[in-house]
C-alpha cells in the first residue's frame, strides 16, 4: 500500500552541519511502511497518488536512548539523590512487576505516553522479572514500535528484586529465544549497574554479550559522585568506573551507557576506541542533582551520543523538552548545543547508538516511516515566538518551549498511531 504526505520535512542524518535536510514543501512517499521517495513536492508531484497534507513540521520519530518503564509511577518522587532515591522510591515500585497484570498495565500506559510525546523507538530498562520484558514486548508488538529491552541482571539487588548468576543467564537466554525476530523488537543484555551485580554475574553478562552478537548491552555509568565513589571502593583495581565494566568484557561497540556525567579523559578515550556510546539524560541529571553532561569533553573525544529521558528520574517523556534541557546542560559548561544537533541526538544519533540507524532516524529512502508532526503554534506563547521565525529559531523554540503539547501526530510505519485531540 502506498501513502503520500505533503508537509515541511526536516531531518539530520549525521552529526555534521551539512547533514541537515530540509524540504519546505516536501513530499514523503511510504510504501508498505517504508520510505519509498522523499523530496520537493514540485519535483515528485504527479508520480504518486494525491497526498494527505500534514500541517506542521515533520521530523523523524524520536528515539529514546535510555528510559525505565517500571519507574513510570514514581516520576516526580521527592527529595533524594541517586542511591537513596533507588532505595526509597524505585526498588519498592519495581517489586510490583512480579505481577504480570501490573506489568501489562504499566507497559501499555508507558508506550502510549511515548507515542503521545512523539517517541517511536526506545531502549528500555524493565525489571529483573522476565514477565516485565514479556509485557513490554507484547505491548510494543501491538503498536508496531521499535523497542529494545532485556531482563535486568542484579544478583546483589534487594530481596524481591534479585536473581542469581544462573537464573539471570537462563532468563536472558529464554527471552532472547522467545522474542528473536518478532516484529521490530531487539534485545539488550542489561546489568543494572556495577554495584548491583557480583563479579561472577558481570563476567557472565560479558559472556552473554559475546555469545549473542545481535544484542546490545545497556547499563549505567558515572551518573552520580556518591555512586562513583562506591564503585571505586568496590573495584579498587579498576582505573575508573568504565574500567570496572571493561574488565568483564562489557565495553564494546554494542554497549550503551546511560549518563556519563563524570567521565575521566581515560574513560572517554576508551569509549571512543571501543565504539561504545553514551545516552545523555539531562532532565534526570538535573532532577537528582547529579551534574551536567560535558558536551565539550565528548566532542573532543569523538564520543557517540544519543538522548534519553530516563523516566522516572527524568521529569518528562518528551524528547523535545529533554533536548531543551540538554541545551541548558551544555550552556552550564559554556558549550552551546545548536537546535539541529539536538534534533540529531534525539533521532539519528540515538538510532546510531542503538545500532538501528539503517532502519530509523532520518526518513531516508529505505528506512521505516516513523515520523512526528510538530506544531510550533501549540501554545499561544509558542505561536507568538515563532510567527515570523526562520527554521532554526522555530526548531529551537520547539525544544525550549515545547513538550507533548507540540506533538500534533505520531506516525508508525507510515500510519497514524497518535493524533492530538483539539
pLDDT at 81 exceeding the cut of 90: no
Q: At what angle do helices 319-332 and 391-401 cross, to 10 degrees?
A: 100
pLDDT at 83 over 90: no
pLDDT in tens, 41-58: 999 998 999 999 999 999
Q: Is the pLDDT of residue 185 over 90?
A: yes
Whether the Cβ atoms of residue 360 and residue 120 lie closer than 8 Å to each other? yes
How far, in Å, CA of 245 to CA of 193, rounded? 9
Q: In whole angstroms, what is the distance from residue 225 CA to residue 241 CA?
A: 11
How far apart are the C-alpha atoms of 243 and 284, rounded to whole Å?
24
Residues contacting residue 13 through CB under 8 Å, at least 6 positions apart: 19, 21, 344, 348, 361, 362, 364
Residue 294 phi, psi dihedral angles, 5° rounding: -95, 90
Q: Are 192 and 152 in contact (CB under 8 A)?
A: yes
Q: Grid coordinates representing 326?
A: 540538554
User: Residue 79 pLDDT more than 80?
Assistant: no
SS (H, E, C) 254-266: CEEEEECCCCCHH
What's 136-167 look like in SS3? HHHHHHHHCCEEEECCEECCCCCCCCCCCHHH
Positive or negative CA dihedral for 327, 419, 349, 43? negative
Of 282, 278, 301, give the one whose Cα is nearest residue 291: 282
Residue 77: the pLDDT is 86
Q: State mean pLDDT over 275-300.
A: 96
Q: What is the pLDDT of residues 340-387, one digit of tens each?
A: 999 999 999 999 999 999 999 999 999 999 999 999 999 999 999 999
Neighbours of 87 (CB within 10 A): 12
Instruction: Give 68's DSSP letter.
Output: E
| Structural element, H or E, at residue 271 | helix 265-274
Share of residues in the chain with pLDDT > 70 (%): 100
Rounded CA-CA distance 305/316 in Å is 20
Q: What is the C-alpha separation between 389 and 397, in angstroms, rounded?
A: 9
User: pLDDT for 100-120, tens place per residue?
Assistant: 999 999 999 999 999 999 999
Query: Does residue 85 surpass a pLDDT of 90?
Result: no
Q: Are 220 and 258 in contact (CB under 8 A)?
A: yes
What's residue 196's pLDDT? 97
Label each residue of 329-352 as H, E or C: HHHHCCCCCCHHHHHHHHHHHHHH
pLDDT of residue 352: 98
pLDDT of residue 129: 98
For residue 274, the model assigns a pLDDT of 98
Three-state secondary-structure class, residue 118: coil
Q: Could you please report the per-residue DSSP string of 212-232?
A: -TT-EEEEEES--HHHHHHHH
Please give the average per-residue pLDDT across 293-307, as a whole number: 98
The pLDDT value given to residue 4? 98
Average per-residue pLDDT in the chain?
97
Confidence label for 422 from pLDDT (cuts 50, 70 and 90): confident
Q: What is the pTM of this model?
A: 0.97
211: closest CA among 162, 176, 166?
A: 176
Query: Is the peptide bond prior to 312 cis by the omega test (within 30 degrees of 0)?
Result: yes
Give the H or E element holding residue 327: helix 319-332
Amino acid 361: pLDDT: 98
The helix/strand/coil state of 109 is helix
Q: Which of 382, 377, 375, 403 is nearest to 317 (CA)?
A: 403
**Residues paired with residue 412 on neighbouring β-strands, in sequence order:** 415
Between 81-95, 143-157, 190-204, 277-291, the lowest mean confidence (pLDDT) is in 81-95
pLDDT in tens, 228-267: 999 999 999 999 999 999 999 999 999 999 999 999 999 9
Q: What is the pLDDT, as a whole number, of residue 82?
A: 83
Q: Which pLDDT belongs to residue 87?
A: 86
Are 198 and 155 in contact by the 8 Å Cβ rule? The answer is yes
pLDDT digits 0-9 by tens, 384-393: 999 999 999 9
First-last CA distance in the chain: 29
pLDDT score, position 9: 98
pLDDT given at position 377: 97
- Torsion from C-alpha of 372, 376, 382, 385, nearest 10 degrees: 140
- Residue 369, number of CB atoms within 10 A of its CB: 26
CA separation for the pair 392, 403 (Å, rounded): 17
Q: What is the mean pLDDT of residues 201-226?
A: 97
Amino acid at each position: 500500500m502506498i501513502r503520500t504526505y505533503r508537509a515541511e520535512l526536516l531531518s539530520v542524518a549525521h552529526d555534521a552541519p551539512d547533514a541537515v535536510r530540509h524540504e519546505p514543501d516536501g513530499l514523503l512517499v511510504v510504501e508498505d511502511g517504508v520510505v519509498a521517495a522523499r523530496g520537493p513536492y514540485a519535483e515528485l508531484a504527479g508520480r504518486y497518488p494525491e497526498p494527505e497534507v500534514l500541517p506542521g513540521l515533520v521530523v523523524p520519530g524520536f528515539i529514546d536512548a535510555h528510559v525505565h518503564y517500571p519507574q513510570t509511577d514514581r516520576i516526580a518522587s521527592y527529595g533524594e539523590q541517586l542511591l537513596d532515591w533507588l532505595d526509597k522510591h524505585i526498588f519498592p515500585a519495581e517489586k510490583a512487576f512480579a505481577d504480570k497484570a501490573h506489568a501489562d498495565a504499566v507497559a501499555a500506559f508507558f508506550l502510549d505516553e511515548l507515542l503521545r510525546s512523539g517517541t517511536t523507538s526506545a531502549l528500555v530498562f524493565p525489571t529483573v522479572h522476565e514477565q516485565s520484558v514479556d509485557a513490554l514486548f507484547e505491548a510494543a508488538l501491538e503498536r508496531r514500535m521499535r523497542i529494545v529491552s532485556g531482563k535486568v541482571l542484579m544478583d546483589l539487588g534487594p530481596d524481591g528484586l534479585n536473581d542469581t548468576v544462573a537464573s539471570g543467564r537462563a532468563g536472558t537466554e529464554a527471552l532472547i529465544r522467545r522474542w528473536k525476530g518478532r516484529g521490530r523488537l531487539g534485545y539488550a543484555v542489561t546489568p543494572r549497574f556495577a554495584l548491583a551485580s557480583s563479579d561472577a554475574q558481570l563476567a557472565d553478562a560479558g559472556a552473554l554479550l559475546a555469545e549473542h552478537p545481535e544484542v546490545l548491552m545497556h547499563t549505567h555509568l558515572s551518573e552520580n559522585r556518591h555512586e562513583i565513589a562506591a564503585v571505586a571502593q568496590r573495584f579498587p583495581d579498576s582505573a575508573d568506573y568504565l574500567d570496572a565494566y571493561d574488565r568483564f568484557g562489557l565495553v564494546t561497540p554494542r554497549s550503551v551507557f546511560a549518563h556519563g556525567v563524570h567521565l575521566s579523559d581515560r574513560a572517554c578515550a576508551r569509549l571512543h576506541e571501543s565504539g561504545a556510546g553514551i545516552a545523555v539524560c539531562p532532565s534526570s541529571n538535573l532532577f537528582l542533582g547529579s551534574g551536567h553532561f560535558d558536551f565539550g569533553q565528548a566532542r573532543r573525544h569523538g564520543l557517540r551520543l544519543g538522548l534519553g529521558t530516563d523516566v522516572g528520574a527524568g521529569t518528562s517523556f518528551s524528547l523535545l523538552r529533554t533536548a531543551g534541557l540538554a541545551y541548558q546542560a551544555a550552556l552550564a559548561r559554556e558549550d552551546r548545543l545548536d537546535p539541529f544537533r539536538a534534533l540529531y541526538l534525539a533521532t539519528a544519533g540515538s538510532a546510531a547508538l542503538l545500532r538501528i540507524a539503517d532502519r530509523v532516524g532520518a526518513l531516508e529512502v529505505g528506512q521505516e516511516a516513523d515520523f512526528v508532526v510538530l506544531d510550533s503554534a501549540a501554545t499561544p506563547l509558542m505561536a507568538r515566538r515563532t510567527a515570523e521565525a526562520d527554521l532554526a529559531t522555530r526548531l529551537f523554540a520547539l525544544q525550549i518551549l515545547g513538550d507533548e503539547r507540540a506533538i500534533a501526530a505520531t506516525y508508525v510505519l507510515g500510519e497514524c498511531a497518535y493524533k492530538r485531540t483539539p
